[in-house]
C-alpha cells in the first residue's frame, strides 16, 4: 500500500510552483515592458527618399572630400549611417522592385528596365503598411517607375505624371525633381495625422533640393522630430549597366529615427536594399512576411552593441542578355570579398580599392561560387514582355530595343572587357535611334553586327532600324540573318513577313508568316497572338478573307484581349465598300480594347478612314491623331501603308 505524503509537504510544493509561475510571468512582462520602453513602435510619419543613381561615395557622410549637399549632410548627422549598403541591380526598375517588395530580382521577376512588370501577387511595402493603418502616398520622377510597371501597388496616391513637351523628338524620360516634390508636398499637407508613409524618387541632381524641402515641410508641421526618414538610392554610378562593382552597387543608407535616436552612429556591417522592407515593418511592429531573404536592421538601430550576422549580398545585370544576347552577370558579396560571374569569373577583395582580381585558387573563390550556385539553383531567366510602340522611342533613349527573345540560352562568350565595350557601343547606337537619327544608328549597328556576327539580337535590331527608313531589301537580309542564327524563335520570321508584305512579295510573306505561326506554337501566348496577327495581315494583303479570318480567330484565342476578329471583319467590309458595316466592326474592336487591351495597329486609322468615307471628317481627325500617338510614323503598318508601300 503506497505511503501518502504529508499534507504540509504537498502544500509547500504547490506554493513553490505558483510562485515560480508568477515570477516567470512577471519577468516576461518586465522584459517586454523594458523592451517596449526602450524601443517603442514608430508611429509615423515614415518617409523613404530614393535617389536615382546616387553613389554613396559622392556624399561627405561617406568620405567625399567636398560636398554640395548640406541638407543631406544635416539629415545624415541626425541619423544612423550604414557604411556599406548595396543595391541588387545597376538598373532603376529592378532595384526599386527589390526595395519595395523585399525580394531579389529573380524572385520578383523584374530583370530589366523594359518589358517587365512587378506582379500584382507581390506584397509591397506600401500594401503591408496600408494594412497597418498607414495612409500611403508616392511621387516619382522617372518614366521607368510609372504606374504601369507595377510599383504603384499599395499606394492610395501615386503621382508619376510627366510633362508634355511640344515638338520634342523624344518624349521626356523624367520630370524635374521640383515638380515631384510639389506633388509629394501637396499630398503630405492633406494628411491630418502622423500615421502616413510617403515614398519619393528623384534623380541625383535634384536630391539636395528635394531633401531640403521635405525636411522644412516636416519641421513646419512640427513632425520632423517624430518622423522616420530613410534615404537611399536605387544604384550608384551605373556606367555601362554591366559592371557590378562598388561604384555601381554601393548606395547610401541613412535612417533618421524619432527623437534623433542613435544620431551620429555608424554601422559597418554590409546591408542591402531588401533589408529595408523588413526593417520598416519591424519598426512599426507590423508582421514581417515569411520567406524573405532580407532581415530587419532594427537590432542595430535600437542597440549600439548589437551585431548583424554576415549574409551574402546578391546583385545581377541581365543587360547584356536582353540588349544584345550576351551573357548575364551575377555577383555575390560576403564580408570583404565579391565574386563576379559573367563572361569571365573573378574574385575581388573589397578592402583593396581598384585592385586586380585575385587568383582563382583563393579559397573564397570556390566558396562564393558554390554559394551563388545554390542561390540561383532552379531559377530561370524570364523573357521580357512586349513594349507599346508609342514607348519605343522612350526606351531607345535609355539604350533598349526589342529583340531579346532571340537570345540563345548558350549565349556566346565575349572577350575580356568586351562585354562593357559592346554594351556601351550598342547603347550609343540605340540612343541615336531614339533621337530619330536613323542613318547614324544604322551605321553603328552595322559595325556591331560585323564585329559580333553571332548575335541574332543585333541582326534583328538592325533589321528594325532599316525597316523604319524603308530600306526593305536590307531589312529583309538582316531579319534572315537573325532567323539563321536562331531558327527556333518566331520573332524574326514574323518581322520578315511584315517586310515582305510591305515589299509586295505576298507569297514569300505568307510562307514566313506560316513559319512564325508554327514556331510560336511552342512559345508563350503573346508570341502566338503576334504570329497569328501578322499572318492575318498578310492574308488581308493577299485578299484571302478565309485565311485572314482564321488567323484572326487564332490571335484572339491566344490573347482574348486582342480584337482581331472584329478588326479583320471591318477590313473586309471596308474593302468591299461597306463603310457603315466597317465602322461598326472597328468601333466594336475599339470598345473591346477599352477593357484594358493594348492598342491595335491600324484600328484608329481605319476608324478615321471609314468616317471620311461617310463624310464625317471632323470625327475622323481624332482617330488619325490617336493612331499617330499609339504608333508613331515609321513604326507602324499604317505608316507603311500611307507611304504607298502597302497595297490598298
The stretch 417-429 carries a mean pLDDT of: 85
User: In this structure, are residues 404 and 319 in contact, taking their beta carbons and an 8 Å threshold?
Assistant: no
Flag whether pLDDT at 588 surpasses 60. Answer: yes
Flag whether pLDDT at 647 surpasses 60. Answer: no
**H/E segment holding residue 330:** strand 329-334
Q: What does the alpha-carbon distance between residue 396 and residue 384 come to, in Å, rounded to a whole number?
A: 15
Task: Find, among 434, 481, 486, 426, the residue nearest to 453 by Cα.
Answer: 481
Flag whether pLDDT at 503 surpasses 70. Answer: yes
Give the confidence band of 36 by pLDDT, cuts at 50, 70, 90.
very low
Q: Give the distance from CA 47 to its chain's centroid.
A: 22
Give pLDDT, residue 355: 67
Give pLDDT, residue 165: 72
Q: What does the alpha-carbon distance between residue 134 and residue 334 come to, in Å, rounded to a whole number?
A: 35
Other beta carbons less than 10 A from residue 325's beta carbon:
27
Domain boundary assignment for the chain: 46-307, 329-376, 561-648
Q: Please give the share of the chain, as a percent, with pLDDT higher than 90.
A: 77
Give the confidence band of 66 by pLDDT, cuts at 50, 70, 90.
confident
Give the confidence band of 38 by pLDDT, cuts at 50, 70, 90.
low
User: In this structure, are residues 131 and 125 in contact, taking their beta carbons and an 8 Å threshold?
Assistant: no
Flag whether pLDDT at 14 surpasses 80. Answer: no
**H/E segment holding residue 136:** strand 135-140
Q: Please give the share of the chain, as a percent, with pLDDT higher than 70.
A: 90
Give the confidence band of 31 by pLDDT, cuts at 50, 70, 90.
very low
Residues 6+ apart with CB under 8 A from 518: none
Q: How far is CA 296 from CA 80, 196, 299, 304, 309, in A?
A: 15, 20, 7, 15, 11
Bridge-partner residues for 250, per DSSP?
86
The stretch 491-508 carries a mean pLDDT of: 97
Give pLDDT, residue 488: 94
The stretch 299-314 carries a mean pLDDT of: 94
The DSSP call for residue 635 is S
Give pLDDT, residue 638: 39
Task: Find, among 587, 562, 585, 590, the residue nearest to 573 by Cα.
Answer: 585
Give pLDDT, residue 45: 96
Of these ranges, 159-173, 384-398, 600-614, the one predicted with the greatest mean pLDDT is 600-614
The stretch 484-506 carries a mean pLDDT of: 96
Give the confidence band of 632 by pLDDT, cuts at 50, 70, 90.
confident
Q: What does the alpha-carbon distance between residue 617 and residue 603 come to, in Å, rounded to a whole number?
A: 16
Largest CA distance in the chain: 115
Task: Find, among 184, 232, 252, 193, the residue nearest to 43 by Cα.
Answer: 193
Q: Which residue has the cell 510562307?
A: 511
Give pLDDT, residue 483: 96
Find the range with the poorest average confidence among 136-140, 333-337, 637-641: 637-641
The three-state secondary structure class of 192 is coil
Q: What does the alpha-carbon distance between residue 149 and residue 159 come to, in Å, rounded to a whole number?
A: 13
Give pLDDT, residue 11: 55
Q: What is the mean pLDDT of the chain?
A: 89
Q: Give the CATH number of domain 561-648.
A: 1.25.40
Give pLDDT, residue 375: 96
Give pLDDT, residue 369: 95
254-297 pLDDT per residue, tens:
999 999 999 999 999 999 999 999 999 999 999 999 999 999 99
Flag whether pLDDT at 409 surpasses 90. Answer: no
Cell numbers of 549, please? Answer: 479570318
Assigned architecture for domain 46-307: 3-Layer(aba) Sandwich (3.40)
Give the confidence band of 414 by pLDDT, cuts at 50, 70, 90.
low
Cell numbers of 333, please? Answer: 558579396
77-132 pLDDT per residue, tens:
999 999 999 999 999 999 999 999 999 999 999 999 999 999 999 999 999 999 99
Amino acid at each position: 500500500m503506497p505511503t501518502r505524503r504529508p499534507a504540509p509537504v504537498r502544500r509547500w510544493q504547490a506554493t513553490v510552483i505558483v510562485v515560480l509561475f508568477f515570477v516567470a510571468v512577471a519577468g516576461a512582462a518586465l522584459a517586454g515592458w523594458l523592451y517596449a520602453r526602450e524601443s517603442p513602435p514608430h508611429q509615423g510619419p515614415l518617409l523613404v527618399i530614393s535617389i536615382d543613381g546616387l553613389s554613396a561615395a559622392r556624399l561627405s557622410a561617406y568620405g567625399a572630400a567636398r560636398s554640395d549637399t548640406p541638407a543631406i549632410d544635416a539629415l545624415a548627422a541626425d541619423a544612423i549611417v550604414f557604411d556599406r549598403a548595396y543595391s541588387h541591380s545597376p538598373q532603376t526598375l529592378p532595384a526599386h522592385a527589390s526595395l519595395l517588395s523585399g525580394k531579389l530580382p529573380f524572385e520578383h521577376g523584374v530583370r530589366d528596365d523594359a518589358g517587365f512588370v512587378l506582379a500584382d501577387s507581390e506584397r509591397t511595402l506600401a500594401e503591408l503598411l496600408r494594412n497597418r493603418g498607414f495612409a500611403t502616398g508616392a511621387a516619382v520622377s522617372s518614366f521607368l517607375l510609372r504606374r504601369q510597371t507595377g510599383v504603384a501597388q499599395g499606394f492610395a496616391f501615386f503621382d508619376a505624371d510627366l510633362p508634355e513637351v511640344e515638338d520634342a523628338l523624344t518624349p521626356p524620360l523624367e520630370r524635374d525633381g521640383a515638380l515631384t516634390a510639389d506633388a509629394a508636398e501637396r499630398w503630405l499637407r492633406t494628411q491630418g495625422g502622423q500615421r502616413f508613409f510617403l515614398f519619393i524618387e528623384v534623380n541625383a541632381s535634384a536630391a539636395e533640393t528635394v531633401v531640403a524641402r521635405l525636411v522644412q515641410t516636416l519641421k513646419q508641421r512640427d513632425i520632423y522630430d517624430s518622423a522616420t526618414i530613410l534615404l537611399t538610392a536605387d544604384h550608384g554610378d551605373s556606367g555601362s549597366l554591366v559592371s557590378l562593382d562598388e561604384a555601381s552597387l554601393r548606395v547610401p543608407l541613412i535612417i533618421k529615427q524619432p527623437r534623433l535616436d542613435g544620431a551620429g552612429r555608424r554601422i559597418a556591417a554590409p546591408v542591402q536594399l531588401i533589408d529595408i522592407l523588413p526593417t520598416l515593418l519591424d519598426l512599426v511592429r507590423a508582421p514581417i512576411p515569411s520567406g524573405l531573404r532580407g532581415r530587419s536592421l532594427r537590432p542595430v538601430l535600437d542597440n549600439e552593441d548589437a551585431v548583424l550576422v554576415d549574409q551574402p549580398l546578391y546583385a545581377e545585370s541581365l543587360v547584356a542578355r536582353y540588349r544584345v544576347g550576351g551573357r548575364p552577370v551575377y555577383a555575390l558579396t560576403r564580408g570583404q570579398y565579391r565574386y563576379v560571374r559573367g563572361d569571365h569569373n573573378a574574385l575581388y577583395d573589397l578592402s583593396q580599392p581598384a585592385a586586380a582580381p585575385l587568383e582563382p585558387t583563393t579559397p573564397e573563390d570556390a566558396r562564393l561560387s558554390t554559394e551563388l550556385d545554390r542561390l540561383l539553383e532552379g531559377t530561370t531567366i524570364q523573357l521580357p514582355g512586349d513594349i507599346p510602340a508609342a514607348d519605343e522611342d522612350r526606351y531607345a533613349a535609355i539604350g533598349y530595343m526589342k529583340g531579346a527573345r532571340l537570345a540563345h540560352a548558350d549565349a556566346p562568350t565575349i572577350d575580356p572587357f568586351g562585354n562593357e565595350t559592346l554594351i556601351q557601343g550598342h547603347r550609343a547606337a540605340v540612343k541615336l535611334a531614339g533621337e530619330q537619327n536613323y542613318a547614324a544608328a544604322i551605321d553603328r549597328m552595322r559595325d556591331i553586327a560585323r564585329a559580333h556576327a553571332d548575335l541574332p539580337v543585333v541582326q534583328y535590331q538592325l533589321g528594325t532600324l532599316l525597316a523604319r527608313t524603308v530600306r526593305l531589301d536590307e531589312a529583309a537580309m538582316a531579319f534572315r540573318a537573325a532567323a539563321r542564327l536562331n531558327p527556333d524563335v518566331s520573332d524574326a520570321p514574323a518581322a520578315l513577313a511584315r517586310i515582305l508584305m510591305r515589299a509586295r512579295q505576298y507569297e514569300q510573306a505568307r510562307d514566313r508568316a506560316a513559319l512564325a505561326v508554327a514556331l510560336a506554337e511552342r512559345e508563350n501566348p503573346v508570341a502566338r497572338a503576334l504570329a497569328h496577327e501578322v499572318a492575318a495581315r498578310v492574308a488581308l494583303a493577299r485578299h484571302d478573307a478565309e485565311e485572314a479570318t482564321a488567323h484572326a480567330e487564332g490571335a484572339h484565342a491566344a490573347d482574348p484581349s486582342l480584337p482581331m476578329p472584329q478588326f479583320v471583319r471591318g477590313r473586309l467590309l471596308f474593302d468591299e465598300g461597306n463603310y457603315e458595316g466597317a465602322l461598326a466592326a472597328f468601333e466594336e474592336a475599339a470598345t473591346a480594347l477599352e477593357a484594358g487591351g493594348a492598342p491595335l495597329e491600324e484600328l484608329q486609322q481605319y476608324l478615321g478612314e471609314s468616317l471620311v468615307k461617310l463624310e464625317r471628317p471632323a470625327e475622323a481627325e481624332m482617330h488619325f491623331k490617336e493612331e499617330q500617338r499609339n504608333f508613331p510614323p515609321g513604326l507602324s503598318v499604317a505608316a507603311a501603308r500611307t507611304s504607298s508601300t502597302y497595297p490598298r
